[in-house]
Amino acid sequence: MICSFTVTNIIDLKKAGSNEAGLLVVIHNHLGQVMGALSQRIPFQVSVAMVEALAAKRAIEFALKIGIWKTEIEGDTVVVMKILNDSDVNLSPVEFILQEAKLMAKNMDCYSVAHVGRNGNKVAHA
């Protein structure tokens, strides 16, 4: 399915001696023009996957808040992207957060989820 906007969720993992992580959500159109961006610090969670799950959920919340109804959600964490694409319901803490994200995404006219490798996630690793 082709959607007109792309949401990229990015995290800045915990720094040594810090108990916070940073998220960055960038929404851009098919030409690469930035349509919106969000930066937020959150308490570091028990795992990187949990931080990635929270970043994916926050990306969907932000897209809906600014009126983006067609989107492709990109991320470079295989596990998170796989769960977002999966229709099965599981109850691990990470999957619980991603189930909430999927429910929110169903309010969009069109959404898809894509795993992009580290090299493809240029904003996160610039």
Question: Which domains does the chain carry?
Answer: 5-120 (3.30.420.10)
Residue 21: per-residue pLDDT: 82
- Between 10 and 51, residue with greater pLDDT: 51
> pTM (2 decimals)?
0.73
Q: 36 is written with which tokens?
A: 């919106």
Say how many CA atoms lie within 13 Å of 29 toward its Cβ. 3
Statement: residue 126 has pLDDT above 60: no
Of the listed ranges 4-8, 9-13, 78-82, the one predicted with least confidence: 9-13
- Between 39 and 11, residue with greater pLDDT: 39
List, for residues 45-58, the tens digit of each pLDDT value: 677 788 888 888 89
The per-residue DSSP string of the chain comes to ---SEEEEEEEEPPPTT--EEEEEEEEEETT--EEEEEEEEEE--SSHHHHHHHHHHHHHHHHHHTT--EEEEEES-HHHHHHHH------SHHHHHHHHHHHHHTTSSEEEEEE--GGG-TTTT-
**Predicted confidence band of residue 125 (pLDDT cuts 50, 70, 90):** very low
Section 97-126 average pLDDT? 73
- Between 65 and 70, residue with greater pLDDT: 65
Residue 65: per-residue pLDDT: 93
